[in-house]
Amino acid sequence: MLDLEKLKKTARQVRIETIKAIYQAGSGHPGSSLSTVEILTGLYFGGILKHSSQKPKWEDRDYFILSNGHACPSWYTILAISGYFPMEELSHLREFGHFLQGHPDKSKFELVETTTGSLGQGIAVGLGLALGLKSLNRKNLVYVLESDGEQDEGAVWEVNRIASHYKLNNLKIIIDRNGMQIDNFTEKNSALEPLDLKYESFGFAVKTIDGHNFQDVIPGLGWLKEIKDKPGVLIAKTTRGKGVSFMENSLGYHARSLTKKEYYDALSEL
Amino acid sequence: MNNKIISGLKTAVYESQREALGEIMLEAGRKNPKVIAITADVADSTRLLKFHDEFPGRFYDMGVSEQAMIGVCAGLSNLGLIPFGAMFGAFEAGRAYDHIRVSIGINRANVTLVGSHVGFSNPGDGVTAQSLTDIALMKSIPNMTIVCPADTVELKKAIMMAVDFVGPLYIRISRDATPVFTTQESSFSFSKADVIKEGSDITIVGVGPIIYNAIIAAEELEKENIKCELIDCHTIKPLDGETILKSVRKTRAVVTLEEHTIVGGAGEDIGRLLLENMPVPVEFVGVRDRNGQSARIYDELIDNYGLGADSIMKAARNVLKRKK
């Protein structure tokens, strides 16, 4: 039985370390880094993703791609807590020459399966991995985390159509549905809804969950993992900037540096 | 120095690079079971149907989805497979540019992209399908190796080398039949440009099948006692500066030739090489910042856009005057 309290504790630690890293870096994307915390914590610590920090390039690992690369501070934090590298490295986020780039860069960091930061590309590489794993008769699963703003990219729907055609049951998509993109709320910019029906009509198994409640996140990810006949998508309803009241649902916190006051206010809330 | 090239319009055998692609991909597939072919609804046009028929489990048609196609190539390469993504050069380099820049270039993915129907080799279809900017786009990507085989013989060598090559690679090929002027025995490697004819007055550095026009021009110029040295610069990036500079040290005058816009084309790189190392007069033969258009006959476009033997001869005479 999973200890949800322990997951909550981990999620809190992820938030604190993420805010610290962004503050020290002098820039970053706090909004999406905070909205993805429970999804990532659930994947890595909830018994979903097959991975091992002792064997980072383990052949039987599941593949994880952060297609919304801008949320990397929380993903890097998750990797550090998992033991892939020392926690101390997080303080070097965005530093010249360091492997913790502002967006995940495969050429600088071997744990990155593919370079992201240009939306709609991580998922396209995920499609290639899923197709290739099938042709090699390998059982690994491919998890791809996308943002909701990313759904505006045409490439996403190229991939969705093809994944469905090949019935890629090894492709597991999670959408961080925080409802916001850079310029506006997604529904005010160019509406995505009904997003679930769009995926359904493309041939996906679809489920919508509360992306901050582990009682929803863990069964949701478990459902996603177990889908056997088609590609699946888990739409995780989240709040951008979750956990820091003045960042929550605020358009100002997509990408920015944090002032000293914001930093300490955020930490005291967390 | 290469073995003697076959020359003369009347004696040349014409073969299509895309037909050759279909044949050589089969050979590559037989040689290495990791070779996978991917296309975006142009399996027939790129002659990959034969590959599909022999290796159905190693072939993916993405439909008209160039961006997804590039991502799939990158993903397959992550698993140690050897993907060849073949598509019209115009749409591959153009439509999917950012996917190539990031998912193949920055990732240093071990992927070979084949851009077909380049230059004016798809004359009838007109401006959108003609690929006159693919070199410019591809060469701007760090780590990208760019190869423009001069004929079917070079193309076949290039594809077989690509199977073992490590890193992002772009191979640019023509649709219609072009003269075969290199031989099986001719030297060919991605790191070396080939001198295919020796001369002492002018160095002509050409890229792709259009080099044949330079062969004809050189023969005509010979009658005026102008001796051209011809370099088959099939690999644009990395550029073999050593071979080019060695020739220019002797000739002190250069004409570049490519079936591509001169803005961002191979000629620019050759010009930069010379400016930095050995400033001599240079003339650039290529499409001069214009869009393509339809024509029923390929040569109509070649003549109109100034890529024919007469244009090369004119450029050669000009550069010779500037030398004196």
Among all residues of chain B, which has the CA nearest to that of A134? B57
Residues B32 and B175 in one domain: yes
- For A149-178, what is the mean pLDDT? 98
Q: What is the CATH number of the domain that holds B267?
A: 3.40.50.920
B303 located within any domain: yes
B1 located within any domain: no
Which residues of chain A make contact with B75, given a CB cutoff of 8 A? 114, 124-132
What torsion do the CA atoms of A160, A161, A164, A166 make, to the nearest 10 degrees?
-110
Residue A192: count other Cβ atoms within 10 Å of its Cβ.
17
Residues B139 and B260 in one domain: no
pLDDT over 50 (residue B7): no
Q: Do B79 and A115 touch (CB under 8 A)?
A: no
- Rounded CA-CA distance A63/A83 in Å is 17
- Rounded CA-CA distance B103/B95 in Å is 14
Q: Which backbone phi and psi does B38 adopt, to 5 degrees?
A: -130, 140
Minimal C-alpha gap between A119 and chain B (Å): 10
Residues B103 and B32 in one domain: yes
Residues B173 and B66 in one domain: yes
Tokens of B304: 């109109």
pLDDT at B55: 97
Q: Which backbone phi and psi does A235 adopt, to 5 degrees?
A: -90, 110
Q: Do A127 and B71 touch (CB under 8 A)?
A: yes
Residues B66 and B141 in one domain: yes
Which residues of chain B make contact with A107, given a CB cutoff of 8 A? 106-108
Chain A interface includes B62 (CB < 8 A):
yes
Q: Which backbone phi and psi does A6 adopt, to 5 degrees?
A: -65, -40
- Who's near B30: CB < 8 A, 6+ residues apart? B54
Q: Which among A70, A105, A107, A125 is the top mutation candidate for probing chain B, defined by the most B β-carbons within 10 Å of its own β-carbon?
A: A125
pLDDT over 50 (residue B91): yes
Minimal C-alpha gap between B265 and chain A (Å): 26
- Rounded CA-CA distance A33/A133 in Å is 29
- Rounded CA-CA distance B135/B132 in Å is 8
- Rounded CA-CA distance B51/B229 in Å is 39
Which residues of chain A make contact with B65, given a CB cutoff of 8 A? 155, 158-159, 161-162
- For A227-238, what is the mean pLDDT? 98
Q: Which backbone phi and psi does A35 adopt, to 5 degrees?
A: -70, -20
* pLDDT digits 0-9 by tens, B45-54: 999 999 999 9
Helix axes A37-45, A72-81, angle to 10 degrees: 30
B6 located within any domain: no
pLDDT over 60 (residue B10): no
> Which of B2 and B305 is assigned the larger pLDDT?
B305
- Rounded CA-CA distance B75/A132 in Å is 7
Which residues of chain A make contact with B72, given a CB cutoff of 8 A? 124-125, 127-128, 131, 162
Which of B122, B152, B180 finishes a domain?
B180
* pLDDT digits 0-9 by tens, B171-199: 999 999 999 999 999 999 999 999 999 99
Q: Which among B61, B72, B99 is the top mutation candidate for probing chain A, defined by the most A β-carbons within 10 Å of its own β-carbon?
A: B72
Instruction: Indicate the helix (H) or strand (E) that contains A72.
Output: helix A72-81
* pLDDT digits 0-9 by tens, A184-227: 999 999 999 999 999 999 999 999 999 999 999 999 999 999 99
B170 located within any domain: yes
Q: Do A135 and B107 touch (CB under 8 A)?
A: no
Q: Do B79 and A162 touch (CB under 8 A)?
A: no
Which residues of chain A make contact with B81, given a CB cutoff of 8 A? 132, 135-136
Which of B158, B180, B202 finishes a domain?
B180
Nearest to A135 among B57, B103, B106 (CB): B57
Which residues of chain B make contact with A120, given a CB cutoff of 8 A? 67
Strand pairing class (B13-16; B177-180):
antiparallel
pLDDT at B143: 95
Nearest to B75 among A115, A128, A154 (CB): A128
Residue B11: count other Cβ atoms within 10 Å of its Cβ.
9
- For B296-320, what is the mean pLDDT? 97
Residues B41 and B165 in one domain: yes
Among all residues of chain A, which has the CA nearest to that of B80? A132
Which of B128, B148, B180 finishes a domain?
B180
Q: Which range among A180-184, B106-110, B239-243 shows the weakest confidence by mean pLDDT?
A: A180-184
Give the number of domains in chain B. Answer: 2
CA neighbor of B284 nearest in space, from B303, B308, B267, B309: B267
Amino acid letter at A166? Y
Residues B242 and B136 in one domain: no
Which residues of chain A make contact with B142, given a CB cutoff of 8 A? none
- For A241-262, what is the mean pLDDT? 92
- Who's near B279: CB < 8 A, 6+ residues apart? none
pLDDT over 90 (residue A163): yes
Which residues of chain A make contact with B167, given a CB cutoff of 8 A? none
* Per-residue DSSP letter, B106: I
pLDDT over 80 (residue A257): yes
Q: What is the CATH number of the domain that holds B117?
A: 3.40.50.970
- Rounded CA-CA distance A218/A2 in Å is 9
B188 located within any domain: no
- For B43-64, what is the mean pLDDT? 95
Sheet holding A63-66, edge to edge: A63-66, A142-147, A171-177, A232-237, A205-210
Rounded to 5 degrees, what angle do the CA atoms A158, B70, A224 make?
A: 50
Q: Do B63 and A162 touch (CB under 8 A)?
A: yes
pLDDT at B324: 76
Q: Which among B62, B101, B111 is the top mutation candidate for probing chain A, defined by the most A β-carbons within 10 Å of its own β-carbon?
A: B62
Mean pLDDT (chain B) is 95
Residues B25 and B95 in one domain: yes
* pLDDT digits 0-9 by tens, B195-211: 999 999 999 999 999 99
- For A55-63, what is the mean pLDDT? 97
- For B82-104, what is the mean pLDDT? 97
First-to-last C-alpha distance (Å) of chain B: 28
- Rounded CA-CA distance A5/B300 in Å is 76
Rounded to 5 degrees, what angle do the CA atoms A42, A219, A46 make?
A: 25
B3 located within any domain: no
Minimal C-alpha gap between B221 and chain A (Å): 50
* pLDDT digits 0-9 by tens, B251-299: 999 999 999 999 999 999 999 999 999 999 999 999 999 999 999 999 9
Residues B149 and B35 in one domain: yes
Among all residues of chain A, which has the CA nearest to that of B72? A128
B187 located within any domain: no
pLDDT > 90: percent of chain A: 96
pLDDT over 90 (residue B12): no
Between positions 171 and 230 of A, the ones with CB within 8 A of B are none
Residues B64 and B160 in one domain: yes
Nearest to A126 among B75, B81, B83 (CB): B75
pLDDT at A2: 81
Residues B198 and B174 in one domain: no
Amino acid letter at A106? K
pLDDT at B70: 98
Residues B198 and B113 in one domain: no
Secondary structure, 3-state, A173-192: EEEEECCECCCCEHHHHHCC
Among all residues of chain A, which has the CA nearest to that of B82? A132
Amino acid letter at B307? L
pLDDT at A66: 98
- CA of B169: how far to CAs of B22, B131, B262, in Å? 18, 17, 21
pLDDT over 70 (residue B63): yes
Domain that holds residue B289: 194-323
Mean pLDDT (chain A) is 97
- Rounded CA-CA distance B82/A101 in Å is 28
Q: Do A128 and B74 touch (CB under 8 A)?
A: yes
pLDDT at A215: 97
Residue indicated by tokens 């197709």: A131
- Who's near A122: CB < 8 A, 6+ residues apart? A65, A66, A67, A68, A69, A114, A116, A144, A146
Amino acid letter at B210? I
CB distance B175 to B168 below 8 Å? no
Minimal C-alpha gap between A113 and chain B (Å): 8
- Going from the N-terminus, what domains does chain A have, and what CATH number goes with each? 4-269 (3.40.50.970)
pLDDT at B11: 63
- Rounded CA-CA distance B38/A166 in Å is 14
Q: Which among B61, B70, B98, B107 is the top mutation candidate for probing chain A, defined by the most A β-carbons within 10 Å of its own β-carbon?
A: B107
B55 located within any domain: yes
CA neighbor of B115 nearest in space, from B96, B90, B94, B140: B90
